[in-house]
Amino acid sequence: MPELIMDRVTKQFKNKIAVDKVSLHLKEGVYGFLGANGAGKTTLLRMLCGVLRPTSGDIFCNGVPIRVLDGEYRCMLGYLPQDFGYYPDFTAKRYLEYLAACKAVPKEISREKVQEVLELVGLKNAQKQKIRTFSGGMIRRLGIAQALLNEPEILILDEPTSGLDPKERIRFRNIISALSKSRIVILSTHIVSDVEFIADHILLMKDGSIIEQGSPRDVTESVKGRVWEYLADETEAQRLNASFAVSNLRNEGDRIYLRLVSDTCPCEGAVPAQPGLEDVYMYYFEEASDNVGNLERRII
């Protein structure tokens, strides 16, 4: 069973530090990286895949630096990049057979494996279609299929569900859950529900650093006592929205229901609520001032 260790890994692009001295110990299970755009998630995953070289620090797989393992490490790897590449003139089947060959999957079993992954992602009927005719969701599913071709022990998925409809997203979550035994699955997303259901371990990233990590329950507990519910009138709702992070807001008759994230009780009458992962996200990533425009639009 693989074990990945990141030892004070830093990546600097000119003057910008994208990943700052991140140390992690990853074993079997699903790891969900959550963070706003530009938090450094993609850079971190690219380093884990060996696409980018860390400026300092090292990444070890089973105690050996991945740059030393080289091809042996890549054999263990399945990767879905954020900007998934494909050859539009290839059919889905040919594309997967090509990648299977590049992933050193023996020829005798690659055809069978291609059919298996096509079935898994629901593209079996479209296998003879050229990829250029695929919708965004189909291309994403093809991306997931290629990542699974070599039965990877380390599966790294960058924004895997972007472009998928809700049904496809649920299907994807189930596939990942089924695959998570005996392997490391690393997901990066800013869609909270993606990791909420399937991640064993959640890592929150901000400005290149891991600011919080733990099981979904642990991470959620970290904001316990900081989530509040309140029914306000329109003027008060606007005031609260401008001052606090709001994780939910809806009209209830002539009043407005607000779910607020705040270290202290935001106003008299607000009652503590059971936190969820979205509240955690709001607590760590949302700037209160960003909400003003949203509120005005929603009330109108």
Partner 1 sequence: MNRQTGGEFWRFPLDERRKSESLRRIRQEGENKQIRQCPSLAANILSQLRFQTWKYWTVQGAILLAAMALVLYLGNKGADGEEAIAVCAVFLVFAGNISLSGLGRLFSRNMAELEQTLYLNLKQMVCIQMLFGGVADLLVLGIVVGIAGGQNDAGTGAYLLYMLVPFLWSDTLYLYMLTAFHSLQQGYRQLTAGIVCGILALFPMFLEDAYEAVYLPVWGALAAAGCVLLAAEVFHMLGKIERGEGLCLN
The distance of closest approach from Cβ of residue 23 to partner 1 in the complex, given in angstroms and rounded to an integer, is 21
Among 3, 36, 86, 197, binds partner 1 (CB under 8 A): 86
Per CB under 8 A, which of residues 151..210 are in contact with partner 1? 151
Please tell me the count of residues contacting partner 1 according to CB under 8 A. 38
User: Using an 8 Å Cβ cutoff, are 123 and 138 in contact?
Assistant: yes
Token representation of residue 116:
């298996």
User: Is residue 293 within the footprint of partner 1 (CB under 8 A)?
Assistant: no
Q: How does strand 77-80 pair with strand 56-61?
A: unpaired
Between 43 and 213, CB nearer to partner 1? 43
Q: How far is the CB of 167 from partner 1 (least distance, A)?
A: 26
> Rounded CA gap, 132 and 165, in Å?
19
Torsion of CA 118, 124, 127, 129, to 10 degrees: -130
The reply to whether 89 sits near partner 1 by the rule CB under 8 A is yes
Q: Assess 88 for contact with partner 1 (CB under 8 A).
A: yes
Nearer to partner 1, 88 or 272 (CB): 88
Q: Which of 33, 40, 59, 113 binds partner 1 (CB under 8 A)?
A: 113
Pairing between β-strand 16-26 and β-strand 154-158 as defined by DSSP bridges: unpaired
CA 21 – CA 223 distance, rounded (Å): 25
> Minimum CB separation from partner 1 for residue 86, in Å?
6
21-80: contacts with partner 1 (CB under 8 A)? 42, 46, 49-53, 71, 74-75, 77, 79
Quick one: 9 or 277, whose CB is closer to partner 1? 9
| 140 in contact with partner 1 (CB under 8 A) | no
Q: Does 252 bind partner 1 (CB under 8 A)?
A: no
150 vs 180, beta carbon nearer partner 1: 150
Helices and strands of the chain, counted as H and E runs: 12, 14
Q: What is the bridge-based pairing of β-strands 245-252 and 201-206?
A: unpaired
CB of 140 to partner 1, least distance (A): 13
DSSP, res 259: E
Tokens 């990945």, residue? 4
Question: In this chain, which of 15, 63, 83, 287 binds partner 1, going by CB under 8 A?
Answer: 83
Nearer to partner 1, 66 or 249 (CB): 66
> How far apart are CB 145 and partner 1 at their closest, in Å?
13
Using an 8 Å Cβ cutoff, are 101 and 115 in contact? no
**Residues 162 and 144 sit within 8 Å (Cβ to Cβ):** no
Distance, CA of 102 to CA of 105 (rounded, Å): 8
Name the residue with tokens 């700037």: 287
**Measured distance CA(85)–CA(131) in Å, rounded:** 11
Which residues of the shown chain bind partner 1 in the complex (CB under 8 A)?
A: 13, 42, 46, 49-53, 71, 74-75, 77, 79, 81-90, 94, 97-99, 101-106, 109, 113, 146, 150-151
